[in-house]
A and B are shown apart, each in its own frame.
Chain A
Amino acid sequence: MKRVWQHPETETGAKASAGPINGDRVYWRSYEELDDTPEFREWLEREFPRGAAEMEGDEADDVTRRSFLKYMGASTALAGFGMAGCRRPTLYLVPYAKSVEWVIPGKPTMYATAMPRVKGCMPLVATTHEGRPTKLEGNPLHPNSNGGTDAVAQASIIGLYDPDRSKRVLRDGKRSTTAEFDAFLQEAQLLPKIEKGKGLAFLVGENSSPTRWRLLGEITKKFPNAKVYRYEPLNGEPQRRANEVLFGAGTTQTPRFQRADRILSLDCDFLGTDELGGDATGEFSRGRALNAKKKRMNRLYSVEPAFTLTGGMADHRLRAHASQMPRIAALVGKAIAEETGDNDLQAAVTPLLEKVNAAVFNEPWINECAKDLAKSKGKAIVVAGTRQPKEMHVLVALINRALGAFEGGQKAVIEVRQTREEAMPGLGALVEAMKAGAVKTLITTTEADPVYDAPADFDFATLYDEVETTVHLGLRANATARASTWHLPAAHYLESWGDIRSVRGVYSIVQPMILPLYDECVTELEVYLKVLNPPAASAEGGEAEEDSGPGIPINGMPRAEDPGPAYEAVKETFASFVKGDGDVSTAWNHALRDGFLPRTIYPRVDGAIQPAALEGLGEGGAFEQPFPWKDGMEIIFATDSKIYDGRYVNNGWMQEAPDPITKLTWDNAALMSVRTADDLGVRENGDMITIEVDGTSVTVPALVLPGPADHSITISLGYGQKGSGAIGDGTGFDMYPLRRSGIGEYVATNAKVTGEPDEPRYPLALTSEHYNMDGRAIVREGTMEMWKANPEFAQTQGMDSHIPPTIPLYQGPDYMDADSPRSTNDPAWNKVRLVDPNHQWAMTVDLNTCTGCNACLVACQAENNIPIVGKDQVMKGRIMHWVRMDRYFSSPKEELTFAAEKFSLAAEEGIGHERGRPKVDDDEVSMLTQPVSCMQCESAPCETVCPVNATVHTDDGLNAMVYNRCIGTRYCANNCPYKARRFNFFDYNKRPLEKLYWGPLAPPAGRGTTSERLQKNPNVSVRMRGVIEKCTYCVQRIQAAKIDAKVKAGQASQDVQVPTNAIKVACAQACGADSIVFGNLKNPEDTVNEKKADPRNYELLKYIGTLPRTSYLARVRNPNPAMPNAASVGQATADMH
């Protein structure tokens, strides 16, 4: 039946439906979309765009349709000769010889552990299947976790199974053995020769492991002349130094976001890449949550040089240069001093203001923001990015003190705590010592790769070569490993005994899940123990044994009960943490079970700022950075949201997870604003530019997005590594050569940037245009004001306000009423129960707290055996992620005109197709994120078109996908209005990504090992080529819970129902912000019912009548009415219809 739409009149006369323009604001995902180019249209109108269906010739692989068929035919013929298909292979059941404690074949076991991070740790619970870890979840018992994780933690599990992991001890890059290394340690080459450790130096990473600190202390006691240096390329050293002068050595500041009403972030992406440690996302989202009981929420101001997740969540965002942040902080300080009458702050700021030309900054914005912060005295926080200079951190601490952030004892919004960490010299000091020739033996255990990522002015690689003996411990055979005399393969944290303190000090245990996969792997602690107690001359003559001989491996974890030296060392440290006369072994067992030892938080220190901190506040050049402009741009060396500083470069899940902001996969690129792009002559994404800093230049592709400060270029570090493995090789561009120590370490100023019009365009695999939903009110937002006036505001946005009645010809079962005549199908020959009276599954996603961090996306990949497809396939739109993390930009509509001057310019230059860019006011752009996966429609369009019933509805309301039935017609994907279905164009799980087109002729994936297979979840089918797949609400978890309930009930229950909130699907479990809630509609106690009843709840494309089970809670922004841009905040979808 044709439905007649009565669109309400619009005042502005906006284009009614097609196109992304609706109401007074537009929202869009890329300039190409906003521009609505024909290429974009074409891309959009195909389900799997460009070449996906045709198998058209591909230059990279040089396989045409014809030759492909030829190969296929040949291989089919060959397969026939082998007769392999005629006999079924004999399979074996292999039990253990002796029972293993706790292991029940077929049942997963969970153990608490923790992932060491540069700041603190990520408390985890690891799921193991018959001893192999397959999935990591947050540890909800841990005081610093709400049970959520992040993408990095989720993906760290494949680091364990990485086929390119370092497996062997190397000497000068050649194969060696553990015994040889032991002999080297023993036989006077290292230790006895060194008089009290003279010339011995350690370069360690950032790590709060108490055992490590203890062992390093013992080493320096034994070798008083040995030196320990600390190095992480992105550790936020300035912040540490600021804390030292502010509150004393070894102190930390931990902002408690849940206690704050007003938050100002000055270049601090605390929800994303700027790890403050702890649970910033969870705490922030608790302050952000909005429901029937909690009707207030915090307000976030963000000042930043390019969009970040924090800026996306912000109620007010100001774009500003990273190098100018100290000046902005000074202006904020001035305004706050005026508001609060804080004389100390006033006195500190006044001399600084001389260096600030207030006119170039948005003063009204800063002043109103400061006023608002001052109004919430005691509940306001200002956070500064860890990449900002020390002086800025001192100033921000003064501002926080004026705002009363350190007051309130237990309830202070910023906690100052005393860690046990000692001050330690950094890489600069090591370089000095190396230059002086004072380092003879250097043992490097940092997870970073100093030969690759040290600041370029140190010339570290050359100095490193000159050191007599270098020993490197690392998971990867990276540049440092290759340059070292000795390389020891490191054990992954899931193979190691260790301990770690969370950012607030909670003593957490790193528990191994599995013996090291490769015999020669050692942990960091074991290396220190070896240096302390050199191994006795190898037992049987000390001869180099064969590869994996039965000797006791270096890690000291032999087959017997002896768990190894690191275990003993950790236990010894642990004993010192047990308070009073507590029973250590009981406490140890409890700590192993829970993952942490309670009451071990760092002691609180008085938040009084030492007066000496203010000395030299205006020095050091922090307030004198030149203002970036066309001929002297600012280059920001950013932490990569996926591979951090480069250490996860060979992690396929991270490489393929689209960057939350840019949606770029497999690369880094120079992020710039339209104005910068125009100045550089950059026309399209992927045009090359050359960046020159202090005489070094690098040529990189440009990526134009809204939101960056003009003449500021943000580019992430860590890419362009050579020899990093099959995944990491050839991805991105190395930016470390541009990096200088000192103030330019994170932000280089005065960089010469030039466009390279002659360079060929670099292909960037962006997913921002995949599966577009064509400008409907998909994502919805409003303001506090709107919400208070009408809590149901979201339900009338888009077309939902004027849906004509649906008069269906056929109605499916009534899933909420099992007794309805529609819900039974009872022909005599087959009694089928169409509706489960006890279970109906549903999900809600609260967009108010969803930051768009990708944790759900990667968690889904881990849980559901989702393959990666490689850059080439991503560019063809064949990415497999079941969760698509959509990111929308929104901007006022007035600005949506093509830049006229650009048009004429193009015409003058004779560039025919140049259409000019849509003009967007970068200051007014806001960002929204939305995870979209299969909606589990009750009336699913995909089901009706499947010719083989491979996708059908289950009685508990799932849209099931039966892989073994699917013949790959892709009709379902074509008919899915949400574009939630993915197709396996190749055997992504089975073949190496670079040889997909070889078909059956390709060797199996895994580069000669099968280690990758160990990660697979045994409860989910690994899909093959030619099969559609999609989100199933983690049906394996649903079934497991149902079966558990039935087993418990035995035969004795009429209505078996899964207990309340018993199932957490992978995405909901991983969500650090608790945005995703999954549950049973038939159990009124389940949280999901509460969420569904929330007036903000809305369904995607409600008017097409698919009755989706997943629904969204609209985002509410909390603008400050006094702010200059308040009127446009939260209006992205306000008047869409």
Chain B
Amino acid sequence: MANVFPRWSNFLPIKLAVFLVFAGIGVVCGVTYYFTGKYTRVGYMPGQPVAFDHSLHVGQLGMDCRYCHSYVEESLFSNVPVTQTCYNCHSQIKQDSPKLAPVRESIETDEPINWVRIHQVPDYAYFNHAVHVARGVSCQSCHGQINEMEVVYEAQPLTMGWCLECHRGPEEYLRPADEVTNLTWKPSDENRAAFYHELAEVSGSSYDELLAQAKAKFGFEDIESAMSQREIGTALVDVLGVNPPESCTACHR
């Protein structure tokens, strides 16, 4: 009887095993890279030409985000400050600090400072800062506790799934629009009475009704008890109709 299996098939199992080992390594590498924060660059913390310390300026000095990122409420792009903005203060204070040499140089030569970009969504995703800020998405929701960062790093994955999490369930993230740039805000800071009074005024409905609705839903015991994020978010979504779009064209054009 002739050989059914040709000679080369003797080595087939070994070849297969070697292949499987390599394939396995590939899969492991792939998963480690693509399925974890490494791919999404969470934690990406490049050095900047000027060691600007957010924890000092925002955390300690209490500067508002919009002093430097001045067009965040108007434009799709939250601008990084022009050198002139830095110089407004630093022409008076710490004029000679060696850390500020690039700023002085930029002012003198009119050449801009090249800040390293940290937060980047793909070119085919059109994120708009102005509308998020106007509708009550805090800076902190996407950028993390900037006020505690000495060096800014990417705090959130900025993936599509992550975006959709909020677009599908905005209750978990929305806050009153005037608290958007308050990075230390907590839901428990809100005064329930004041919150519903304002809500009633804006929406034109009755305060008592809103309060009763909320009570029915969240069953808080007394009006002074701490508010939860879900309660605030639900009120904003249901009463004011903050309704984030979920169709593709919202971000892709």
Contacts and interface: CB of A to CB of B under 8 A. Distances in A.
Interface string B80-106: 111111000000000000000000001
A963 B116 contact: no
Interface string B33-64: 00000000100001000000000000000000
B226 interface: no
Interface string A784-828: 000000000000000000000000000000000000000000000
A93 B80 contact: yes
Interface string A470-498: 00000000000000000000000000000
Given A1019-B126, A1021-B124, A1055-B241, A1047 B79 contact: no
Contact of A1051 (B77, B124, B242): B242
Interface string B114-144: 1111001011111010110011100000000
Given A964-B124, A1019-B126, A1051-B240, A956 B247 contact: yes
Query: In this complex, which of A97, A962, A1038, A1049 has the most chain B Cβ atoms within 10 angstroms of its Cβ?
Result: A97
Nearest to A830: B168
A1032 B249 contact: yes
Contacts of B79: 95, 104-106
B71 A106 contact: yes
A1035 interface: yes
A958 B249 contact: yes
A565 to B, nearest CB: 24
Contacts of B202: 1051-1052
Contacts of A900: none
A1038 B247 CA distance: 13
B208 interface: no
A359 interface: no
A97 B46 CA distance: 22
A1049 B176 CA distance: 14
A1020 B241 contact: no
Contacts of A954: 247-249
B203 to A, nearest CB: 7
B222 interface: no
Nearest to A1049: B134
Query: In this complex, which of A93, A830, A1021 has the most chain B Cβ atoms within 10 angstroms of its Cβ?
Result: A93
Contact of B236 (A960, A1039, A1051): A1051
A1053 B240 contact: yes
A816 B125 CA distance: 29
A955 interface: yes
Contacts of B135: 1046, 1050-1051
Contacts of B83: 95-98
A110 to B, nearest CB: 15
A95 B111 CA distance: 10
Contact of B131 (A106, A958, A1043): A1043
Contact of B115 (A92, A97, A1046, A1056): A92
A792 B84 CA distance: 65
B244 to A, nearest CB: 10
Interface in A404-441: none
A96 B82 contact: yes
Contacts of A90: 46, 116-117
Contact of B253 (A88, A1021, A1052): A1021
Given A952-B247, A1051-B134, A1039 B253 contact: yes
Given A106-B75, A1021-B123, A95 B246 contact: no
B243 interface: yes
B245 interface: yes
Contacts of B116: 90-93
Given A104-B75, A1047-B134, A91 B84 contact: no
Nearest to B41: A88
B8 to A, nearest CB: 25
Contact of B84 (A97, A964, A1051, A1055): A97
A95 B253 contact: no
Contacts of B122: 964
B130 A97 contact: no
A4 interface: no
A300 B124 CA distance: 48
Interface string A1052-1077: 11111000000000000000000000
Contacts of B74: 104, 107, 1047
A1049 B135 CA distance: 9
- Chain B interface residue number, banded: 35 or more
B107 interface: yes
A84 to B, nearest CB: 16
A97 B124 contact: no
Contacts of A1054: 203, 239-241
Contacts of B168: 830-831
A90 B80 CA distance: 17
Contacts of A1020: 253
Given A105-B75, A964-B122, A1051-B240, A97 B247 contact: no
Given A962-B248, A1043-B130, A1051 B177 contact: yes
Given A1039-B250, A1051-B136, A92 B117 contact: yes
Contact of B134 (A88, A92, A953, A1046): A1046
Contact of A97 (B110, B134, B246, B252): B110
Nearest to B243: A833
B249 A1035 contact: yes
B214 interface: no
A1036 B46 contact: no
Contacts of B84: 97-99
A963 B248 CA distance: 10
A1046 B106 CA distance: 37
B113 interface: yes
A834 to B, nearest CB: 9
Contact of B246 (A832, A962, A1021, A1052): A832
B233 to A, nearest CB: 12
A1038 B123 CA distance: 19
Contacts of B113: 94-95, 97
Query: In this complex, which of B106, B120, B123, B247 has the most chain A Cβ atoms within 10 angstroms of its Cβ?
Result: B247
A99 to B, nearest CB: 5
B18 interface: no
Interface in B203-253: 203, 236, 239-243, 245-250, 252-253
Interface in A90-134: 90-99, 104-107
B73 interface: yes
B71 A1019 contact: no
Interface string A27-58: 00000000000000000000000000000000
B131 A95 contact: no
Interface in A821-867: 830-833
A833 B253 contact: no
Contacts of B130: 1043, 1047
Query: In this complex, which of B41, B110, B115, B135 has the most chain A Cβ atoms within 10 angstroms of its Cβ?
Result: B135
A1032 B126 CA distance: 15
A98 B253 contact: no
Nearest to A1020: B253
A90 to B, nearest CB: 6
B249 A104 contact: no
B82 A97 contact: yes
B195 to A, nearest CB: 12
Sort A-B residue pairs by CB-CB distance and give the 9 closest, nearest first: A106-B77, A954-B247, A106-B75, A1054-B241, A91-B117, A964-B124, A92-B114, A1047-B134, A93-B115
Given A106-B71, A954-B248, A958-B247, 7 more contacts: A94-B113, A95-B82, A95-B115, A97-B106, A1043-B128, A1047-B134, A1053-B241
Interface of A: 88, 90-99, 104-107, 830-833, 952-956, 958, 960, 962-965, 1019-1021, 1032, 1035-1036, 1038-1039, 1043, 1046-1047, 1049-1056
19 contacts: A90-B116, A91-B117, A92-B115, A93-B80, A93-B114, A93-B117, A96-B82, A105-B77, A106-B77, A833-B243, A964-B122, A964-B125, A1019-B126, A1019-B253, A1043-B128, A1046-B131, A1050-B134, A1051-B242, A1056-B241
